Structure 1
Amino acid sequence: MTSSVRAANAATRDEFAERLLKGSVRKSYAPVVDIDWDAPLDPDKFYLPPKTVSLYGTLLWDSMTRAQQIELSRQELVNTLSAGIWFENILNQALLRKMMHQDPTARATHYELTELGDETRHMVMFGRAIEKVDAKPVRPRLYQRMIINALPFAFRGSLLWVAALIGEEIFDSLQRQMMDDPELQPMIQRLMRIHVTEEARHIQFARDGLRKRTPTMPWITRAWVGNLNGVGGLFFRFLFTNKVQYHRVGLDARAARAMARASTHRHETQIAGFAPLGAFLEEVGLMGPIARRLWRRTGFLPAAARRGTGAPTDAGTGAEPDDDVYDGAAALQIADQEHPVRVRLTGHLDPIDGRYHWRGTILDAPNLVSIGPVRLGIESRCVDARITERTAQGSYSIVGVGAPPFALPNVEVTVVE
């Protein structure tokens, strides 16, 4: 009986992974071309929406000039992106160790490999963003690096998926709330949209893994995982109020951290960010009493509430491996008219559908551009393409399947139509 249930679950897991793999083919981003890294930053815009900066709503925040507030938002962004790099490093290591014991032909394994690629590109994107805003990354100390290197050995089974959700879903929820803020730097808006789009599938995959595991989970495992996850609250409280970000702005770091941790507005922001994950942990029975107490004490659950609020949300979309990049002139054909433009493009031969997928950004598109089919030409090559969206930076995303309009040096491409 047990083996038949597990077999059914395994088949369902592969079916779920297959759907996510198809989503990866349909929708993907390559940050090296999908973000206009050359666009200037607006000196009067924030790097995080003001309401999400840790000191917002405090007397200290009100006493700061707008320039100081923007600088604090810059340092808090860098702190968050740096932590994202280290967390995704941990997740990738844990996934690689997990896959050593799996069937390499299983769709679930294939999706985990796809997720590895997504996370690797996110680390590059975060690093490029830190460089773009002209800041120094917040590097972990020696003892923190030792913990980072040890955690992949501990993240196994259900604990891996809970850790993945803690590391991804809180950020995802907060980013969804703030990525359309008009006071936010367009480059950061674009980064957040890419990250939210691709992380959505990772969250679905982790949630699906837990939903399939919890019904047959031994009580000791349930108690262990259901209470240990509360440590995530301690981590995020440390991260969101890291003294480094206050010190870099010239504030009294200890006093600023204490004020941020006592801020009612900050608690409300954290509660909103944790709500979807809290509701899901309650749903699958993995919100133990110790975990609930820790999440509440660190400001991620309402003080008077016993259970997480909010509704679980699942969304999904995709990612791709990077290759060589074409950055230069092109001709955009709309109807019967041809317009000179500058593009940044890349592509890859997808192992899932066997077709060549290319995508990128039109950096100086004419005003009459709209979402829909177009043709793009580079020198003697002209191919069908599709404009998919207008970005917050004012550029346009363009995608195509089949022979690309650009020739990659020293790369032979066989296109399967």
Structure 2
Amino acid sequence: MTSTQPRPTAYQPPAKQAAELNYEQVLDDLSSASVHRNFDPYLDIAWDSPELEIFENDPRWILNYEVDPIGRHPWYQALPESEQIRIGMWRQANVAKVGLQFESILIRGLMQYADRLPNGDKRFRYTTHEAKEECNHTLMFQELVNRIGMKTPGMRTWLRAISPIIPLFSTITPTIFYFGVLAGEEPIDHIQKDFLRSPKSNMHPAMSAVMELHVAEEARHISFAHNHLRATIPGKGRLTKFALSVFMPIVMRILCDAIVIPPSEFRKEFNVPREVMKDIFWESEKSRVFLSGVFGDVRMLSEQCGLMNPVSRQVWRAMKIDGRESRFRSEPAYNAS
């Protein structure tokens, strides 16, 4: 007689069961939000309205003196207004181009990752939703670049060269891939939120429209990466976790520099002194505070994943991105003291 009793499952500690259930619920919630609260850059941004028209010598392209790393520097502030505007337009167009290129890498990685998931895995639905949203972001960023009209390369040459290889990490070492995802998403998200929060920000409406849409959807993408790492890292072996604890700050700093620091074309185009570039990225006191603040959420995540230890703390310090962890995700820098 065949037994009808269900096969017993392996014992799991209550805390692990709770974490897995919570992660499953997060995936359901994020997928639902992607269906019911999504944006289309050609429906939700009035590109052809008079308010969003882009023309030369518009002072709204001057970089924010308090938020933008370049805009804060005395060298930039001492330039004639016309040159500040030209640099601002180039800078913002290049930031959008970098965003486009990063999203393209992410889309390819997400689709490879989703392709390896088994039937019924809830990550398949959410990562595909996210890839679709990132496709819309690439359209939005390219539209802005085209309308600004500046010839900008985006990422630095070496990163553009290896970009076809990076998506492979999503299936070879998914955890490192998601470290890279956060290393790209967190700095861009941090800078854009600072711009939107700044009471003295006088951005061009086209730029603010792009930022608002991007920040709204990026919150879901960053939430997924955080929850995914919190759910998957604690179950790894001790040596693996130690290796990840060391890799995490290294990946963060390398990709942050690659994404935030303008390519060499910027310095050549505007005759920026080398010492000024070094001061902006990241030798001045203000720039070091900014760099540390970018990764407050990631340091918090590292603690939550059990990746902060005496050795890894030294690596965070060596990478010059150590500091206090955020108390909650997206904690404004002016509250982090």
Band the TM-score falls in, shorter-chain normalisation: 0.7 to 0.9
CA distance in 2, matches of 1:288, 1:244: 40
* Contact 1:260/1:266 (<8 A) preserved: yes
CA distance in 2, matches of 1:291, 1:86: 30
1:173 alignment partner AA: H
Deviations 1:139-169 (A, max 9, x none): 5576533421111222433223222222112
Partner of 2:90: 75
Residues 90-109 of structure 1 mapped to structure 2, 5 A cutoff: 90-109=105-124
Which residue of the other structure, out of 231, 235, 240, is the alignment partner of 1:216? 235
User: How far off is 1:17 after superposition?
Assistant: 1.1
User: How far off is 1:32 after superposition?
Assistant: 1.3
* Contact 1:37/1:132 (<8 A) preserved: no
Which residue of the other structure, out of 151, 174, 187, is the alignment partner of 2:191? 174
CA distance in 2, matches of 1:77, 1:294: 32
Which residue of the other structure, out of 233, 251, 263, is the alignment partner of 2:284? 263
CA distance in 1, matches of 2:255, 2:97: 14
Partner of 1:36: 46
Residues 53-72 of structure 1 mapped to structure 2, 5 A cutoff: 53-72=68-87
Change in 2 beyond 3 A, CA 1:15/1:124: same
2:40 alignment partner AA: A
Query: After the TM superposition, which of the residue ranges 196-205 and 41-50 deviates more from structure 2?
Result: 41-50
Higher-strand-fraction structure: 1
Partner of 1:233: 253
Change in 2 beyond 3 A, CA 1:106/1:189: same
Higher-helix-fraction structure: 2
* 2:332 paired with 1:310: no
Identical amino acids, percent of aligned pairs: 21
TM-score (norm 1): 0.66
Partner of 1:111: 126
Change in 2 beyond 3 A, CA 1:51/1:202: same
- Max radius of gyration: which structure? 1
User: How far off is 1:9 after superposition?
Assistant: 5.6
Change in 2 beyond 3 A, CA 1:290/1:57: farther
Partner of 2:296: 275
* 2:203 paired with 1:184: yes
Query: After the TM superposition, which of the residue ranges 167-176 and 4-13 deviates more from structure 2?
Result: 4-13
* 2:41 paired with 1:21: no
* Contact 1:79/1:245 (<8 A) preserved: no
CA distance in 2, matches of 1:62, 1:143: 30
* Contact 1:46/1:70 (<8 A) preserved: yes
* Contact 2:65/2:71 (<8 A) preserved: yes
Partner of 1:368: none
Deviations 1:345-380 (A, max 9, x none): xxxxxxxxxxxxxxxxxxxxxxxxxxxxxxxxxxxx
CA distance in 1, matches of 2:208, 2:319: 28
Cα RMSD over matched residues? 2.8
Change in 2 beyond 3 A, CA 1:250/1:265: same
Change in 2 beyond 3 A, CA 1:48/1:199: farther
User: How far off is 1:98 after superposition?
Assistant: 1.5
Partner of 2:272: 251
TM-score (norm 2): 0.81
Structure 1 unaligned runs (5+)? 302-306, 316-417
CA distance in 2, matches of 1:101, 1:247: 44
Partner of 1:165: 182
SS of match in other structure, 1:285: coil
